Structure 1
């Protein structure tokens, strides 16, 4: 492995300066708290641990979820984009990851239960069980066949992120410069309409701007951005949403769920890896890739450029801006825990820290009624509207 590919991020994590008040803890514990994007299934597929008890690794386990007040983690059935190149591979992995979540609920029924509707979420909250809901991150397992959509709906999938890091047979990706479809593919347009009829939420995180606007033209129900933040704070980062897109989402009745990953939150973190690579390339060009001088210079460069973690306050800035732009009814939480590696902000390092977010909202003079909307009521409103439309169609 060359020095550039082996280069790792040096992370100096500051002492957590946030301390939630009893009031913040109470609000998190007593009210419905939904996080629409947690990558536990793929984490366990890659590195299994028993998350029904405290774990050494990762951002989620049962004790920490309870401590944070988390009621509904939408577990991401994440499918790597490159699997679409192998027929059947995406669908196979999706079923395996869903199997894992079913097994988790089966092994600890006093702690977890699967949830496929808002009513189930409420019932399970009342009996003190964490609801495992399912969202598919990357629609490649649909494989151009609506029968697969129906199969995954029957297995509990309640939202689909249309694409991921590469364009697929459904949609262009925000990360893919090819933009092969100019937005949605013909099948993608059919799929969005069918998802509306079936009751599967359309997730526009990861798709290109053109695909986003085409989804809004087609969808008869509110759509979601399950784990996105604001382009205002990360200029040029298409993966995040522009002010114009957020206004369009609100006009649609939809909701943006704020991603906690530092690279989604601040420009400095967003550009960190590119900056580090430029410095590393210059060092290697000067000394040669495998030289002792290059190794020493790279180590010194990393030590002098620690990863610029975002802060809880900067995450709150994203929430504030959505509220100022379109109102309190169109924002929620889509942390991307277990999906953004070690890049989480100071104050929001795992699922036990939602009370810190609540404390920050209180300090910014949000009412308890508004905080309840951000924690879960806004998303439940969208989910119910999607269900109600499907019941009629």
Structure 2
């Protein structure tokens, strides 16, 4: 990020502005009605992206029990009605092009299997839409898995087969840097101008094998190339709308969303505040600029860097987004391409302390349902948003792979 450290008078004015903003949104009470709670419990809720495996790797906790901190554990999932969260097998871009990326992916899958092994009366691995539905009927929380960053494939389709066998059912082609598959929306170096030659082959092989293609994180060019190549609907497992966050390529613009609708795919809305509102993104830019200015002034060894974000937050309060703003994203997708193409991809345990007011952890899904009811969504439409749309895409991907195998 480029820019100078704001003058003290500007910093104070921003503090006052964000403080007023925080006070206004905190004042709203998000309370779910009995009907909203019932709908959350009666419906399958699929969340396209929860970062429990990496959270557990960083600091082990037993999510089969109540935990301190974090956004997910069994009691809170039950409270919120969440019963089919995709466990993110997240591999940092720093491990791209190294054998450690493949190793880490297998270790994270091991950790999901360990959760189930510790509590088979609470959780079960889900490898198909049939698994999700049957496990829901049994009162179990399904744990399907998606791989965030295709780096562990290492350009080897045998690795793709191995990860499918272990339960991976979607792959986010890239993460924060361009890899051997695709350019990333975060990476200014557009090495491939979209997909690599291997990436184009991979799209077809994922279709044939029955793995959903996740276009979250990829560049715009890569998105359009995926859409041109794929024979099945695709997903954005945890993305929101650029309309509300101008200039943030990580989100999708209206033209992309329309193309996703033509493809039959689903965008699963990310709850992270910087994905939801431009104010949160501006705050993050301000933080980066202030940190850079401190380094320029005092150097990389400055003791002030140790707790820099915490200190910055005290001076310039973080402008949390709200449940209502998340609903604005859902509304806009519905207005553009219909209710059949939107889902939920919260990014719980993956966006730190940036979750919206009203949606602070997985226990809050009834609040989301209440918001949808308040905006006039029918119970049928709410069911589609909570899981029906993603399960439709997943089923379509399964059906295509089955027909390919049969032929």
1:32–1:71 CA contact under 8 A, matched in 2: yes
- 2:383 aligns with 372
Note the C-alpha offset of 1:279.
4.0
- 2:126 aligns with 115
Note the C-alpha offset of 1:82.
1.1
Q: 2: distance between equivalents of 1:236 and 1:298?
A: 23
Is residue 56 of structure 1 aligned with residue 64 of structure 2? no
The Cα offsets for residues 54-73 of structure 1, whole Å up to 9 and x where unpaired, read as: 00021000000000001101
- 1:311 aligns with 322
Note the C-alpha offset of 1:306.
0.3
- 1:180 aligns with 191
Q: 1: distance between equivalents of 2:207 and 2:288?
A: 43
RMSD over equivalenced CA pairs, Å:
2.4
2:273–2:354 CA contact under 8 A, matched in 1: yes
The Cα offsets for residues 217-258 of structure 1, whole Å up to 9 and x where unpaired, read as: 000000000000000000000000000000000000000000
The Cα offsets for residues 314-357 of structure 1, whole Å up to 9 and x where unpaired, read as: 00000000000100000000000000001000000000000000
2:97–2:154 CA contact under 8 A, matched in 1: no
- 1:81 aligns with 93
Note the C-alpha offset of 1:294.
11
Q: Mean alpha-carbon deviation: is it higher for 77-86 or for 62-71? A: 77-86
CA separation of 1:347 and 1:167: change in aligned 2, threshold 3 A: same
Q: 1:257 aligns with which of 243, 259, 268?
A: 268
Note the C-alpha offset of 1:278.
2.7
Q: 2: distance between equivalents of 1:292 and 1:140?
A: 35
CA separation of 1:299 and 1:126: change in aligned 2, threshold 3 A: closer
Q: 2: distance between equivalents of 1:387 and 1:84?
A: 29
1:204–1:224 CA contact under 8 A, matched in 2: yes
1:162–1:203 CA contact under 8 A, matched in 2: yes
Q: 2: distance between equivalents of 1:64 and 1:299?
A: 27
Q: 1: distance between equivalents of 2:304 and 2:353?
A: 28
Q: 2:40 aligns with which of 28, 37, 44?
A: 28
1:283–1:298 CA contact under 8 A, matched in 2: no
Q: 1: distance between equivalents of 2:184 and 2:75?
A: 36
Note the C-alpha offset of 1:272.
1.1
Q: 1: distance between equivalents of 2:157 and 2:58?
A: 29
Note the C-alpha offset of 1:288.
8.1
- 2:180 aligns with 169
Counterparts of residues 211-290 of structure 1 (less than 5 Å) = 211-282=222-293
1:257–1:331 CA contact under 8 A, matched in 2: yes
Is residue 69 of structure 1 aligned with residue 69 of structure 2? no
Note the C-alpha offset of 1:281.
4.7
Structure 1 runs not aligned, ≥5 long: none
Note the C-alpha offset of 1:270.
1.2
Normalising by the residue count of structure 1, what TM-score does the alignment of the two structures yield? 0.93
Q: 1:348 aligns with which of 346, 350, 359?
A: 359
Q: 1:99 aligns with which of 110, 122, 127?
A: 110
Is residue 151 of structure 1 aligned with residue 167 of structure 2? no
Note the C-alpha offset of 1:301.
5.7
SS class of match (1:76) = strand
Note the C-alpha offset of 1:17.
2.0
CA separation of 1:96 and 1:285: change in aligned 2, threshold 3 A: closer
SS class of match (1:356) = helix
Is residue 207 of structure 1 aligned with residue 218 of structure 2? yes
